[in-house]
Structures are given as C-alpha cells and as structure tokens.
Structure 1
C-alpha cells in the first residue's frame, strides 16, 4: 500500500496551525489536508484488524477515519508521544470498539434481544401516556423486571442502534447522503457543510500550477496511489512523490495565508 504520510515535523507545523486557526474555513481545510495524508495509516490498521472479520474492509476504514478525525481534533503538541503514535491509538480504539459492539450484539442471548424489543415498545407506550420519556424504573416496573436486567437490555439496544455505514440518510426529499460521507467529520450539521468543505479545498487546489494540481486531484479526489498516478501521467513514482510534497507545501501556504 502506498504511503503518503507526511513527515513528523511537517505534521507538527500543520497541527499547530490547525489549532491556532481562527476561521472555520481554514480549520476545515487544514483538517481535511492532514486527514488525507494519514489515510494510508487508517487503511493499514483497518486491513490488519479486518482479516478475521466479516465486515467489508471499506466499512472498517470509514470507522477508522472517525478515529483519525478525533485524533486531529484532540491532539496536543505538548503530548510526549508523536501525532502518528497518538493517531494510531485513536484509530485502533475506534475500530476495536466498533467491532466489539457488533460481536456483542451477535453473542447477546436471544431473551435479551427480545427484552430489548419489548422494552422499546413499552417505553414508547409510556412516553405517550406520561407525556415525557419514562425512567428506567418505570419501564422496569411495567415489565416486572429488575433495573439491572433493564440496563442489560438498554446496552444491547444501544449497540443495535449502530447505523449501517451504507444506510441512506435523508435531509430533504432532494438531498440524501450516506454515513460513509458523514464520517469524514461527525459534527457536520448536514450535507451542505460536507460539500462546502470539499469546495473550500478545491478552491485552494485550483491555485496550484497545472502539474501540481493534476497529481493532487488524482490523489485527493480519485484516491489513486503514487504508482497509479505515475502510470496515468507517464512519469516515475519518485516524481509523483516530489510533486505531491511540493503541492502540499503550496496548499499549506495558501490555506494559512488566508488566515492572515
């Protein structure tokens, strides 16, 4: 798998600029830029953890991307560990948590799964009757179950709530998107924000020279690795690598200059 991860010193500078950026536009552009170059790390971890799983590896990669985004948001330059090490921990943790939840649902006793279904039905009925969300105690009394048993059913239900990564989500009759698209940033309000961020980055890319713009578009938006890009445009992989490095330096300069 082609490694496009930027060097550690560059990462520190980019993360510092991301933390200090006062405009949302600059923060989002830098976040997307950093995330793109750490995508190979996400894929490496995802492929390693997916070997014995039935889930499509693409789904696990998307979950890993969520961990990467959290790492970018929460990393502090004062941490003793490098960003790559910190991101590896967050990505791995996010994927393992996702897989553990799925396994827990599969292994949950049938009676607990049935109780979860009954609990939701009772909770909905009590909500209408009481005009508010019922408490766990009220649900337990209605079902004549102990609080501890209800809590077990609630945990199973929480895990069942995991939305399929490919499930279509609707904003309006004309706008639809999948969770795969939304995982790039779990704080997006709607699909419009997702598209705006992409446009912001594209605006910066358009300011690059033609040869740099070409490799960035293939790498960023077509998800081609350096070998594939080299074959397409007829240059060596080393030349592609140099162009991508130069392009990222230019993009960083363009984005950070917008802040000043």
Structure 2
C-alpha cells in the first residue's frame, strides 16, 4: 500500500510539473509510471480480437501520451479515470480502421468478369478444365495478375457464420461464436465517448462549462441559463460558441508536436 501511495504521489507531482512546463523527459516518466493502464486495456481488448497484443499495446501508449498532454491536475479528476478513455479510444479507433471492408480496384473487378466469360467459353470449346495460363493469354495479362485478381475476389467473399474456425474440446467453434457482442461494443463506445466528453468539459473555464451543461446537457433555455450563471443571454451565447470550439479542439486535436 505504501508503495502504491508513493507511486501515486510521484505521478501527481510529475503531472503538475508537466502541466506547468511540458517536456519530453517528464512525459516519458509519466508513461513509464502509468504503463500498467495500457497493458491492462491491451490485454482486455486483445481477448476480443485477433490483433497481436504488442500492436495493441503500442497503440495504447499513443492514447496515454494524449491523455498526459491534455490532463489538468487542477480539475480534481483522477488521472487514471481521465486516461482510460483516451487509451481505449486509441486502440478501438485502430481496430475500426483495420476492419474496413476490402475494396478491389475497378480494373480487377472488370478483369474478373471478363475472365469468367473466357473460362466458360474455353471450357465449352475444349471440353476440360481451363488453366490460368490460357485465360491470362486471352485476356492479354500476366498469369500473376490474373491469379491476384482471383485471390482478391475470393478474399472479399462473405463467410458463413456457421463456418468452423476453431475447436474447443469436442465442440467446434463457428465464426458466429467468435464474433463480439455488437450491443456490448456499442455500449462501450458510447461510454468511451461520454467519458471523453466529460473530461473535455471539465477543462473549460467555469462559466463556459456552466453554459454548456445548462443549455446542451440539461436542456435549459438560454435565458434561464443566464439567470443561473448571473450573466446576460448574449454572454451565454458567446460562452456556448467558445465552449463548442474548445471542445472540438480537445476532442479532435492535431497531432502533438514536441520539441
């Protein structure tokens, strides 16, 4: 317990130092101190996908660095609670990008259609199975390109959810069994986005934060929000405009440049 308390104290001290005067040295120290958060999230997500753990861990560190660079120690929020959505979000965004649908070049799509026509014509003419070399010669392309075209077409075909992808004891594991629960994933995504938004709002100036919370979160009219904050409705509008711009920067920042 004493060791954990000491590590927490050291981490907060470094976070204060980094907030006041950012430096790569202090940032790297904070990364080492909080590496356990990255490993924990990488292990948890790694059990639900086929990506190598090492890749997930490396991507997670990018999220940790983002969290360190945006954390405000004066907001009263625990750094671990602030960092987890950034780490998890970075890994999930990586997986979403990796899972995009395979797109085949238009030339290959047309080549595949023409090749199938040629295959049928030659099969009827020769009365036997047609070789790739014969089809490629008629199409006036190399054999390797024709085979790449066929492989691309085959790889984008949808698999049956009943297709066996593994074995557990005496029971086969189908593709459907291995797919993640989409409802649970959606719930996790929403929670991730909620935490990121909450963390970003906590970094706003007091009255700007109040304006955002009263109008956009609680749904109060701007006149009512103005009364509660103690400013004019026009000032509330200015706070809202400023707040939306700041939130956009916090939630969708440029890649950080450290010197």
The question of a shared fold, defined as TM-score above 0.5 by the shorter chain, is answered with no
TM-score, normalized by length of structure 2?
Answer: 0.38
TM-score, normalized by length of structure 1?
Answer: 0.38
Higher relative contact order (CA 8 A, sep 6+): 1
